[in-house]
Chain A
Amino acid sequence: MAHPLRGVAAVTGLGMTPMGRIFGKSETELAADAVRLAIADAGLQKFQVDGLLVNAGISNGIGLGLQNYLGLKDLRLLNHMNGAGSTAAQMVQYATMAIAAGMATHVVCVFADAPLKAGTSAGAAYGGAAGSQVRPRGIGGLYPAAGYFGTNTPYALAARRHMALYGTTQDQLGVIAVGQRAWAAKSPLAQMRDPITLADYHASRWIIEPLHLLDCCLVSNGAVAIIVSPAAIARDMPNPPVYVWGMGQGHPGDSRRAGTTWETETGGAIAAKTAFSMAGVGPADVTACELYDCYTYTVLVTLEDYGFCEKGEGGPFVEDGRLGPGGSLPTNTGGGELSGYYMWGMTPLSEAIIQGRGAGGQRQVKNDVILCTGNGGSLSYHAALVLSPHRSES
């Protein structure tokens, strides 16, 4: 018997601002632009929106006050959510459950971020207070005392451990970066569209070994909003609905003690079971992947955790280029966060919607079953959606 929530809701609206080194608008203003675009895209009037879920990025510029900036009245659902990079997929999950429960009809989910300031680097935007001369307090101070800074460090440590345990190579990480850039070259939305080779990858500077610059995602200013609506009315809305077939989360935690496996086994392994089970599909049925890719390694370990290959076999699995254009498992078809744009979980989600609608243009792939994942923290938080342009198989 099909899961009772399978196919009850669909994404019916998508609004995206320009993304990248976009200056002159606050996070609230970017969010308002994206919401206006999403409402128009869904063919709705603003008063029909009765749910608002808000996710601020690293610059933490939007919150519950966005409701009043948008002039949304009589909301039936409102929250400021934070599951880091897993939030976008989570917002769709909570919107779907609220719709299924009859609590709301058209739920806007919006992300906005503006960490880039004119004249500063992307690294500075995510380096935090790393240059601080204030003494860190307590045992946590051992991290900066060891020169452990930023988000790049834990991901480099995770990738290194995978390499040591399973023999994963630098070339295998590089193939992911090269493939995603090839996808980005086909996307007018992507920030980085010049093709790269494996040699370019190896020549890009080290950030923290084993991560080159081209292993790391972009940093972008911008906003993305989507609208989730009941499946029963979605088909009468202007754009092809993208139905929610499956949903799952996984948050394995890290004891920072012997026995932890956070580096090489993510919450994706847990989320996969729930999401695939609800959707009634397995990895062999997936026709396209839109995977959270803060780093190349995140893609590799996610593919393993969803059972596309055995644990530890991610390197050989990606090595033949199957993720890139023309490959057997099209993945991050807009260039992802590495080469497209970095809107946290809205990056894979927005591309999944575009593909689900069949609006991918030169980069359109077979879209019957799309896996969309979100990952946040240091491989800490994970959420998944299985999406499809079909309400059911029949």
Chain B
Amino acid sequence: MTQDIVAKPIPEADDQSRPFFEAAMRGNLLLMKCGSCGIFRLPARRHCDECLSDEFSWETAAGTGAVRTFGIMHQRYHPGFVADIPYNVTIVELDEGPQLPTNIVGLANDEIRVGMRVRVEWELHGDVALPKFRPV
């Protein structure tokens, strides 16, 4: 990993997401699974948005999915990204259902396609591992 000249905004865990970020450091993608209706969700919330149950378990996702949609960013918003412009902003839909914001790595921007199959890999930023996706 190269050192960022200006730090990117790297998330820190809150109580809801701590298991996710701890598992990420071990290379596992954790999801919440509703204890009532079985729907998977990202660990952002206590209640299931389908059935409003607050019972859940942590499950390890397969780590595979498909590109839902993407854009190529040219606008400077955060100084930490200036060196990356133009960079892709991508929504990946995991095979378990949840969609998460990420970036495709290992592929030129103009080769990214909606529907492309991808697999998670982890990019280390200090004590935080961020999920990125590479075509399979």
Contacts and interface: CB of A to CB of B under 8 A. Distances in A.
B24 to A, nearest CB: 10
Contacts of B8: 145, 147
A131 B77 contact: yes
A6 B20 CA distance: 53
Given A133-B7, A208-B74, A143 B101 contact: yes
Interface in A190-215: 205-211
22 contacts: A130-B77, A133-B9, A136-B12, A137-B13, A138-B17, A139-B20, A139-B44, A140-B44, A141-B10, A145-B130, A149-B78, A150-B75, A153-B89, A156-B71, A156-B89, A164-B69, A208-B73, A208-B74, A208-B89, A209-B74, A255-B49, A258-B97
A65 interface: no
A141 B89 contact: no
Contact of A139 (B10, B42, B75): B42
B93 interface: yes
Interface string B32-75: 00000001111110000110000000000000000011111111
B71 A208 contact: yes
Nearest to A157: B69
Interface of A: 123, 127, 130-133, 135-150, 152-153, 156-158, 160-161, 164-165, 205-211, 255-260, 263
A153 B72 CA distance: 9
B91 to A, nearest CB: 6
A206 B113 contact: no
A161 to B, nearest CB: 4
A137 B84 CA distance: 23
A139 B43 contact: yes
Given A147-B87, A157-B71, A256 B17 contact: no
Contacts of A211: 71
A204 to B, nearest CB: 11
Nearest to A162: B69
B102 A146 contact: yes
B114 A135 contact: no
Given A141-B12, A143-B101, A161-B114, 9 more contacts: A141-B10, A142-B130, A142-B131, A145-B101, A146-B130, A149-B77, A157-B91, A208-B75, A209-B74
A158 B71 CA distance: 9
Contact of A160 (B7, B81, B98, B114): B114
B73 A153 contact: yes
The listed residue with most B CB atoms (<10 A of its CB), out of A210, A257, A263, is: A257
Q: Report the contact-size class of chain B (Cβ under 8 Å from the partner).
A: 35 or more
Contacts of A147: 8, 73, 77-78, 81, 84, 87, 89, 103
Contacts, number: 141
A260 B84 CA distance: 30
Contacts of B7: 133
Contacts of B87: 147
A65 to B, nearest CB: 33
Nearest to A258: B97
Contacts of A255: 49-50
B49 A141 contact: no
Contact of A256 (B12, B99, B102, B103): B99
Given A157-B89, A257-B99, A136 B11 contact: yes
Contact of A142 (B11, B40, B70): B11
Contacts of A143: 101
Contacts of B130: 142, 145-146
B33 to A, nearest CB: 12
B113 to A, nearest CB: 7
Contacts of B39: 257
Nearest to A138: B14
Could you say which of A142, A146, A206, A208 has the most chain B C-beta atoms within 10 Å of its C-beta? A146
A152 B39 CA distance: 30
A381 B77 CA distance: 25
